[in-house]
Each structure stands twice: as structure tokens, then as C-alpha cells.
Structure 1
Amino acid sequence: MPKISVIIPVYNAAETIVRCINSLLCQTLDDMEFILVDDHGQDNSIEIVKQHIAGHTREKQFIFTETSVNSGPGVARNMGIKLAQGEYVAFCDSDDWVEPIMYATLYKQASEHNADICCCNALQEKKGKTTLLKNPKLPNGLFFVSDKQSFLVDYTSYFTTFVYKRIFLTKSGILFPAERSAEDSYFLLCCLLYAQRTAQTDQPFYHYLLQDNSLSRQVNATRYLQKLSVAKRILDDSKKHGFYDNYRHELDYIYLKKGYLMATMNYLWNVQKPQIDVINKINRTLTENVPDYTTNPYFLKQPPLRILIFLLHKMPRTATKLIPMIINIFNITV
């Protein structure tokens, strides 16, 4: 059994895939497998990979499969999960790359603590600028169910910085939603809620490339509505499976910050002519799904966030100018 299965969805990645693959070939952990899921892009990404790994000592560790039609990264990752044979499962996006010791370090940490999931920090790469993305630091590198509150509120959304015990995913039934927006946040939050033991190293091993043309930056009506829909599903599923009562304040705040706020900022920042009826519709989702958000203890501790939410409701165009500052303060990806 491989120690870690790394799943890589591939879609129009010809310009970046070699750097990603090189970082995987250089891993110091020997016993691995790499599952590339072709999601039917228009370029020759998969052929580039096959030619690049030909004759490499890791060539036989590569598995290639494909979706039936272009389905989005969530569906592609789910296919990878079903094929994976590793003790742990990890994900790497085709335009990102990892440090050589990432998976060896995470596997060692996860194994020593018998953790369901284990994470590191990340480095966001954008136009030559590198920004450290830090998860909350855990005492002794480990936390249990009773320690989740602060981590849930402050974790970064980079699910690719984690390794996940495969049997944990299988037993809990956690998969990615088919939607093409916020599917990664949903997956990670479910894992955080279900995990009994979570381990961590505070080293930044994962490089996340933020591009203006990446899926995370392409916003239209469908994408922002999907983001809100997935955020609402998190609330609904947490209630269905008995997590909401224990983490109500945290989950409501996550909806506010990673659902409503991200969808609103994406729309205002990327759409040339925002429509007031669309803005009003987004605003209504907050009051409908988290009607008492103004009394949320985490919200009350964040004056800049309170000001921004007020402006988004009353003066959305003014709020748009504050987005860069809010991104830096709250570590929000838009």
C-alpha cells in the first residue's frame, strides 16, 4: 500500500503542469502514487506529463484516468479518491507546486499522532510576490474535538495543505460537491468537523499560484450563486449530522466570511457593471441564513468586518475600494 496518494485534476494546464510534476517527482517520500484525472481541457497537458515522466524511476507510480465529460475539479478529485490506494490521500492543483519534503513530513506527523488529517502552511505566489498563509498554531502540533473552535474560525481555505487518512474519508463519506465554486472549502470544513485527531506542522510546504485567469478568479452569476449554495449546504449538513449545536457561532461566522463575504467581494470586484438587484439578492442570503449574525461573538470582535458588511449593504461601490485591505486582515482569497 502506498503511504500517500496525490490526486491532481488536470484541465488546460500545459503552461504550469511540468513545474507541478517536477515537485512531485522530487518528493523525499518514496512510497507514493500520483493520480492524474484528465477533465477534458483543450490542450495536451496529459501528453506533456506522460512524456516528461517517461523513464523516470517514479513513472510506474503515475496513474492516469479521465472524467466522462468536463465536470470540474470536484468531480475529478472524487474520481481520484475512489481510485486511491494510499494510506493517506492528498491533493495538488496542476498550477501549484510543493516542497520536496512536504509529504514525507506530513506523513510522519500524521502517523506519529494517528491523525485523521494533518496540515502544513502555504505560500501564495502572485505576480512575483510571496505571502505566507498560516493556519492557527496547534499546541504540540495536535488537537482533538474539544479544541476545534478557534481552528474552525481561523483556518485557511487551502485544502491542498492537508493529507487525509483514506479510511477516514471512506467511513465519513466525505466527497467534493459537483459545483465548481467553493467545493474545496466544503470538503475541508467537513473533514475538520468529522476529524477526531488533527495534526500539524507549521512549515510552509505548499505553493499556491494565484492567477487572474484561474478558476478561483473567474466569476459570473452561476459561480457566485454556487458559492452561496455550497456555503448554505455547509450549514444544512452540519445541522443534519449534529455538528451545528456544538459549533453554531463558528459555522455561522464561516458562512458570513467564506460564503457571503467572498461571494459579494468576488461579484463586486470582478463584474464591470454590478447590478443592484443582484447585490440585494446576495445581501438577503445573509439575513435569511444567519439572521442573528450581528450578535455573533466572532463578528463583534472584528470592527473592520462590521464596517465592511455595513457598507456592502448600504454602499456596495464604496465597499469595493476596501476589499484589498480586508483581504489582508482576514486572509480571504477572492
Structure 2
Amino acid sequence: MMMKTTAPDITECSPLVTIGIPVYNVEPYIEKCLLSVLNQTYQNLEILVVDDLGTDNSMQIVAALQKSHPRGDLIRIVAHDMNKGIGEARNTAIRECKGKYLYFIDSDDFIESNAIQLLVEQAEKYNTDVAIASHRRVALDTGEELPTYQYAKYQLFQGKDAFANYVCQDLRWHVAIVVWNILFSAVFLRKNDLQFYGRKEEDALFLSDYYSEVNTAVIIPDITYNYVSRPNSIMGYMARKQIPIREIRERFQTDSIMTSHCARLKDRSFYDVHCARVMKHKFRAVCVALRHRHRFTEKIFNEEIRQELKHPASISEIIRFKRYRGFHFFFYLLSKLPSSLFVCFSYILGRTMKWI
């Protein structure tokens, strides 16, 4: 008589993955986001919802799904004692994560049903620090697919600086400036004390901090994440007649931290390009300030804008740079101009580059 066999329980042989979801005033979107996570083909999940104390019914929706969905017991809620912003919510997820891996998703986005399965397969195969997949942008109102960020091919990076040298091969962005849709090793995050700073441009700073520490990474072309583009999101400047002055100052503060963190890379082969990428990022912030300064709720001073472009390297370091030396000299000297002249030249340059 033939004995009946059963498939092994995937939870017994697959690593636990924590999915970190910061929640703050996303009532219209959180159900779709959570359902996309609850309906994953990958089974061994912890869904860590970080309540950042919004004022709408987002958390009531989370609680209802926790009770009604067949897999609702996977949801664990951690509440802040005050609103701290998305960066601190992600730091809470890093601290509270019980999984071998941590995957961030923003609470107004949603993922494909096989997203975690695809990433875990690659992470386990190569013991990665990070496994990165592609994403698409989706219009909120119409569901129309907008220009998609899809990696052209499968890539594996192994060895010290292999991934960093890929990121720093030139000034283009070879990886998306996001922290979602990446499967992070929890040990990697904690070993390198990686955390989020500030409330604006925290993703760019986190990328600037983590890529240099990666020893093994995989990039896959599969689209696993849907980024919902909505005009009234915290990223939108153009949709508003008035912009709180704190937003640009918070961005400047985050960029100041990015500048100070450059010093730890002085002895690395890609330091020259890393600094150039930081300066490019910071000049974009200067252009944002100049383009929208008439809409800020308070006056922003020329000297504030000039300080944003402080160069992370000394002039002696720039002289020794092998790549982008002229680029560095130009921005170093530009940052030394009197603030009124700095603003004038920066505005002309920004207009020429069509960044203003």
C-alpha cells in the first residue's frame, strides 16, 4: 500500500522575513498595501506595522485586517509615543525586526504576490547583504503605468567594494534612490549600525551609507513593487502654493549629515566619485531652494543656501582625486563665493541644466 506524502511546511525550512510598514495618515491606501503583503506566496512572514500616530483611521483598518484575514496573526503592531516621521519609523522596524531579513514597503504602495519569494531565493542562494528588485510607478487616479525603474539584467556582486564600485562607476544612479523593494540582511543592518536620519531625503542618505558596506548583492530585473504616484504625497513640491520652510531646512540638515559621513570613506578607492555624487545631490537641493523660495512660508537666506553646498573633501584631497577633479574644483570654489554671488551663479547654472 502506497503511503501518502505531504509537502514540507515552508515555514520550517524558510527564513523568517520581517516586512516593515510605517503607517501615518494613509487611510485610503493601507488596506491594499497590507493585502498585497498578506497574500504573498512566501509564507514565513512577520508583518511589522509601525504606528507613527496619524490622525485618521489607518490603524483601525490595520486592526480589522489583523482580526479578519486568515493570516492576520502575522501582523504585529508597534506604536510610537509621538509622531517621529518615516525615518524613525524605519529605525523602529530595524530594532524590532525578528526576521533574518527585513523588507521595507511604504504604506501607500503595494507589491506583487511573488515579491518576497523571488528575493529570498536570491538572498539564500548567495548569502547576500542586499537583494534588490525592479519597480514600476503607477498613477493613483488611473492606475496607468508610468515610466518604470527596471534593471536591465540580472547582476551578482561579490567581494569587498564590488557593489560600491558599481554604484560609483560614474555620476548616474545605477540603483534606485529608495530603500523599499530591497531585502536587507538584518545582521548586515545591525552590524554596520545603519539607521535613518532626518525627515527629508532620508532614503538618499541611507543609500549613501549602506552601499559602501555591502559585500554581496544581487540585482534582478523582475518587477516586484508598485510605487503609487500621488500628487499630494510628502514628496510633492509643485502641487502646493505654500511650502513649510522646515521642509527645505530638514533636507539641508539631512544633507549635512551625508556630508559629514563622507569622511569614513577617505581611504576607499571610490571616495572621489562618492564625494562627486554627494555634491551633485546637494546641488539639486540648492536648485530646489532657488526654484521654490518664493513659495516658502518664511524667507530662506542666501547664506543658508550657500551652506548647503559645503564640500565634504578638503582642497588637498581634491588635488589627489583621480576622477571628476574639475567637477570638484568648480563646486568647491563656487561654495566659497560670497552668498549673493553664489546664489546668482547657482541660479544661472541651475537654469542651464534645467534643474530650475
Aligned to 2:9: none
Aligned to 1:93: 106
Do the aligned residues in 1 keep the contact of 2:259 with 2:311 (CA within 8 Å)?
no
Quote how far apart the aligned CAs of 1:121 are. 1.5
Whole-angstrom CA distance in 2 between matches of 1:271 and 1:207: 32
Equivalent residues in 2 for 1:116-195, closer than 5 Å: 116-126=129-139, 128-134=144-150, 140-147=155-162, 148-152=164-168, 153=171, 154=173, 155-177=175-197, 179-195=198-214
Q: Which deviations, in whole Å up to 9, do the C-alpha atoms of 1:223-243 show, x marking residues without a partner? A: 223223322322322423x45
Aligned to 1:266: 288
Aligned to 1:16: 29
SS in 1 for 2:199: coil
Whole-angstrom CA distance in 2 between matches of 1:162 and 1:312: 38
What's the Cα RMSD here?
3.3
Equivalent residues in 2 for 1:99-114, closer than 5 Å: 99-114=112-127
Aligned amino acid, residue 194 of structure 1: E
Structure 2 unaligned segments of length 5 or more: list them. 1-13, 238-242, 328-334, 336-340
Q: 1:282 to 1:217 in 2, by over 3 A?
A: same
Q: Does residue 61 of structure 2 align to residue 48 of structure 1?
A: yes
Q: 1:86 to 1:229 in 2, by over 3 A?
A: same
Whole-angstrom CA distance in 1 between matches of 2:213 and 2:67: 40
Q: 1:314 aligns with which of 330, 345, 348?
A: 345
Aligned amino acid, residue 156 of structure 2: G
SS in 2 for 1:215: coil
SS in 2 for 1:208: strand
Q: Sequence identity, in percent?
A: 21
Q: Which range moves more in the overlay, 157-166 or 286-295?
A: 286-295
Do the aligned residues in 2 keep the contact of 1:2 with 1:33 (CA within 8 Å)?
no
Structure 1 unaligned segments of length 5 or more: list them. 302-308, 328-334
Q: 1:244 to 1:68 in 2, by over 3 A?
A: farther
Quote how far apart the aligned CAs of 1:109 are. 0.6
Whole-angstrom CA distance in 2 between matches of 1:291 and 1:282: 20
Q: TM-score, normalised to structure 1's length?
A: 0.81
Quote how far apart the aligned CAs of 1:320 are. 5.7
Quote how far apart the aligned CAs of 1:244 are. 5.6
Whole-angstrom CA distance in 2 between matches of 1:143 and 1:259: 30
Aligned to 2:279: 256
Larger Rg: 2
Q: Which range moves more in the overlay, 281-290 or 248-257?
A: 281-290
Q: Does residue 278 of structure 2 align to residue 247 of structure 1?
A: no
Q: 1:57 to 1:243 in 2, by over 3 A?
A: farther
Number of paired residues?
Answer: 315
Q: TM-score, normalised to structure 2's length?
A: 0.77
Q: 1:235 to 1:296 in 2, by over 3 A?
A: farther
Q: 1:123 to 1:291 in 2, by over 3 A?
A: farther
Whole-angstrom CA distance in 1 between matches of 2:299 and 2:59: 43
Structure with the larger helix share: 1
